[in-house]
């Protein structure tokens, strides 16, 4: 069967088979080498770790192509193509993922054969949301997919559509089991817009509670962000609570940030070297810091000029025992010009703990007060019982775009340690500001009072823009940092001739090109000190890493999948896949118990700045135990004709992949960008 026929079949089919019977044990909360429940492995803890041993220091060099599946193009032809930018999940021998063209796919992990597929029914034409109708064929920006077994007594695959709709599909048949519309219309205190984006969802199947958040622009038209909790056990989901992340956008509540701190059990702010305990400050000091936080927003009676939202990438975590969810939040908008948002801007660029039954803010930890550099706290949140300072305790581990990696006590948010990678060459204008310094908290832009261009590093895409990993056996965390120095020139956000929605950066300015580089770090979680580092020159890094079988698996934008020795960071394997890799592999088993890596090869448009083509999903497995793999080669992806066990020709894809590799070699950098232009 040719590629065109397969693509047509995939796009038009809704049910072409069924997965295996759902397990008696709950795979969502069990750590198994067979299943990869969430994008980061053992959702809801998100370790990007598998206890499997079949793919190890020896067999990793024997990896070969088990199967390959070209992705179908978008339903409405455009120049964006179709790709996958979220790690798939693997459950009971089936692989599930969502494409940027809103297509949910289920495949047999044994040979890549299609089980079923579903086009999400999305309507973007909602008044007042500042979004576009479906006819505009927006490219979806999906960063989350989940699997549950207890909600409604069915095995369900969950995905959040880009139009404020959450779907749950029967994992066995693909039938729609739940559809929740949570459109943010008539939101109290909101005077901005909400838009499509990679929204996060937490699904606590034990309590039957689903938590969602908003997405907005990064300019002066941004909306008032919040989280919501929904009961999804009933036939019609019901709203339980709504918790705002910022004050009303007309400046009408100057006490909002003060009240938020007082109502939380714990509240903290990071100053670049230490943690400031806001709860321990005197009332006069607290009022001096937070009264009128966010200012008046430059409000003119009809619209706001500052806003924020929840985090957009990776997976948030929750504790099944306590019912507390751990989430990241986005940067304050407009990103680079803070003229209309003086103050700390609580709770932007933060890590939060929220009681999912009531919406109460248990603790909050702001990582970049008065953020002037777009340093949001997206990507995954890890939760684990770890040893720190010789004591076992429940810890939240989180990396943010400011390039710091934090270990926080899960009950209180108290910082246990932070890791500031020595490899990050921090630009002076990109330093973390002092929350107790009024001059710092009212700076309109990073190099104020100068109006000349300046260098930002970490850059717009951040010093950490990926999912970390945690090995519970060795108590080791792995995180990837990078340098991406960019020259910025500030632009006005309000005034005559300034468009509504400006985010404060002169896009017409192009400064000198500066070199980028990436470093993989292994960290002793007990001490927060580095164990080893592995440098990768000339590229940035986005997506994530895995730890498994004594290996650290590093997929990169230069098209290489690297395997490092977890003990010392030495390179064990380096395989050219053939095009940019933008997410970590899922590690799981087919129905026969054969271990494999499953991951997407991106198209050129998704966050990588490469030539556009539809992406592809591939599975690799050690050849010594393979039953359906192709002949082992020095490169997994070849420009020659390759046929997988399911009969899918990859020649059409490889011709484009070769172009992408040439492009990467010529540029030598990852032209990473934000989730929206």
Peptide bond into 347 cis (omega under 30): yes
DSSP 59: G
| 328: β partners | 351
The residue whose two tokens read 């991951």 is: 599
Beta carbons within 8 Å of 100's beta carbon, 6+ residues apart = 74, 80, 81, 82, 83, 84, 85, 139, 140, 141, 142, 606
What is the CA 204 to chain-centroid distance, rounded? 19
Block mean pLDDT (10 aa), the chain, length 677: 29 32 43 89 95 97 95 69 89 95 94 94 59 51 89 93 89 95 90 81 94 91 95 92 98 98 98 97 96 95 93 89 96 96 98 98 98 95 93 96 98 98 96 97 97 94 95 97 95 94 90 90 97 96 96 95 98 92 95 96 54 80 71 36 28 30 27 27
CA distances from 103 to 82, 117, 119, 596, 673 (A): 10, 7, 5, 23, 24
User: Please, what's the b/e burial string for 395-404 (b: 16 or more CB within 10 A of its CB; e: otherwise)?
Assistant: bbbbbbbbbb
For residue 67, give the nearest of 17, 15, 108 by alpha carbon.
108
pTM for this structure?
0.89
The structural domains of the chain, ordered by start, are 3-667 (2.140.10.10)
| Rounded Cα gap, residues 153 and 615, in angstroms | 34
| Rounded Cα gap, residues 601 and 581, in angstroms | 5
| Rounded Cα gap, residues 453 and 555, in angstroms | 34
Instruction: Tell whether the torsion through CA atoms of 94, 116, 170 and 545 is positive or negative.
Output: positive
For residue 439, which phi and psi values (nearest 5 degrees)? Answer: -65, -40
| Rounded Cα gap, residues 586 and 26, in angstroms | 19
Residues 424 and 541 sit within 8 Å (Cβ to Cβ): no
Instruction: Tell whether the torsion through CA atoms of 99, 102, 103 and 104 is positive or negative.
Output: positive
The predicted structure's pLDDT at residue 661: 31
Residues 364 and 338 sit within 8 Å (Cβ to Cβ): no
Q: What is the dihedral of CA 504, 508, 509, 513, to 10 degrees?
A: 120
Of all helices (H) and strands (E), which one includes residue 562? strand 560-565
The predicted structure's pLDDT at residue 31: 64
């Amino acid at each position: 069967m040719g590629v065109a026929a397969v693509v047509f079949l995939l796009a038009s089919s809704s049910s072409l088979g069924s997965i295996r019977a759902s397990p008696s044990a709950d795979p969502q909360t069990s750590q198994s080498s067979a299943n990869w429940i969430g994008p980061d492995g053992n959702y809801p803890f998100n370790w990007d770790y598998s206890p499997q041993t079949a793919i190890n220091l020896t067999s990793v060099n024997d990896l070969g192509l088990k199967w390959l599946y070209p992705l179908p193009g978008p339903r409405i032809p455009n120049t964006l193509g179709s790709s996958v930018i979220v790690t798939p999940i693997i459950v009971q021998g089936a692989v599930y993922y969502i494409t940027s063209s809103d297509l949910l796919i289920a495949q047999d992990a044994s040979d890549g054969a299609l089980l079923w597929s579903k086009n999400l029914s999305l309507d973007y034409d909602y008044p007042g949301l500042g979004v576009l109708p479906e006819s505009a064929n927006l490219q979806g920006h999906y960063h989350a997919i989940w699997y549950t077994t207890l909600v409604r007594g069915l095995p369900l695959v969950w995905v959040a559509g880009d139009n404020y709709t959450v779907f749950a599909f029967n994992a066995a048949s693909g039938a729609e089991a739940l559809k929740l519309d949570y459109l943010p219309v008539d939101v109290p205190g909101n005077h901005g817009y909400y838009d499509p984006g990679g929204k996060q969802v937490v699904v606590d199947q034990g309590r039957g509670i689903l938590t969602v958040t908003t997405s907005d622009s990064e300019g002066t038209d941004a909306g008032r962000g919040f989280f919501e909790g929904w009961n999804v056990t009933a036939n019609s989901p019901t709203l339980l609570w709504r918790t705002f992340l910022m004050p009303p956008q007309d400046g009408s509540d100057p006490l909002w940030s003060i009240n938020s701190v007082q109502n939380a059990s714990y509240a903290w702010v990071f100053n670049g070297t230490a943690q400031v305990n806001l709860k321990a400050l005197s009332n006069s000091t607290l009022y001096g810091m937070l009264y009128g936080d966010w200012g008046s927003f430059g409000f003119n009676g009809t619209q706001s000029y500052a806003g924020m939202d929840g985090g957009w990438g990776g997976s948030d975590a929750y504790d099944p025992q306590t019912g507390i969810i751990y989430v990241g939040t986005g940067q304050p908008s407009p990103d680079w010009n803070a003229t209309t948002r003086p103050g700390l801007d609580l709770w932007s660029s933060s890590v939060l703990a929220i009681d999912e039954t009531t919406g109460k803010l248990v603790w909050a930890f702001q990582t970049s007060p008065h953020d002037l550099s777009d340093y949001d706290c997206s990507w995954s949140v890890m939760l684990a019982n770890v040893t720190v300072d010789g004591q076992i305790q429940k810890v939240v581990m989180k990396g943010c775009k400011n390039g710091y990696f934090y270990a926080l006590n899960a009950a209180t948010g108290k910082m246990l340690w932070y890791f500031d990678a020595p490899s990050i060459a921090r630009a002076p204008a990109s330093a973390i500001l002092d929350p107790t310094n009024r001059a710092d908290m009212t700076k309109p832009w990073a190099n104020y009072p100068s109006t000349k261009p300046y260098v930002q590093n970490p850059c717009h895409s951040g010093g950490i823009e990926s999912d970390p990993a945690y090995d519970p056996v060795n108590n080791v965390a792995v995180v990837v940092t990078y340098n991406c120095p960019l020259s910025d020139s500030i632009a006005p956000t309000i005034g005559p001739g300034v468009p509504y929605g400006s985010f404060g950066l002169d896009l017409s300015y192009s400064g000198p090109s500066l070199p980028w580089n990436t470093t993989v770090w292994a960290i002793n979680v007990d001490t927060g000190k580095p164990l080893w580092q592995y440098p990768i020159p000339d590229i940035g890094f986005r997506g994530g890493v895995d730890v498994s079988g004594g290996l650290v698996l590093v997929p990169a934008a230069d098209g290489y999948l690297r395997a490092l020795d977890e003990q010392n960071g030495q390179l064990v394997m380096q395989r050219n896949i053939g095009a940019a890799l933008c997410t970590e592999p899922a590690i799981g088993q087919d129905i026969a118990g054969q271990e494999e890596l499953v991951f997407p090869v991106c198209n050129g448009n998704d966050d990588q700045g490469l030539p556009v083509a539809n992406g592809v999903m591939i599975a690799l497995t050690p050849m010594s135990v393979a039953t359906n793999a192709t002949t082992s080669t020095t490169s997994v992806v070849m420009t020659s004709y390759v046929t997988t066990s399911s009969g899918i020709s990859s020649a059409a894809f490889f011709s484009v992949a070769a172009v992408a590799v040439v492009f990467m070699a010529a540029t030598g950098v990852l032209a990473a960008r934000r989730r929206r232009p």
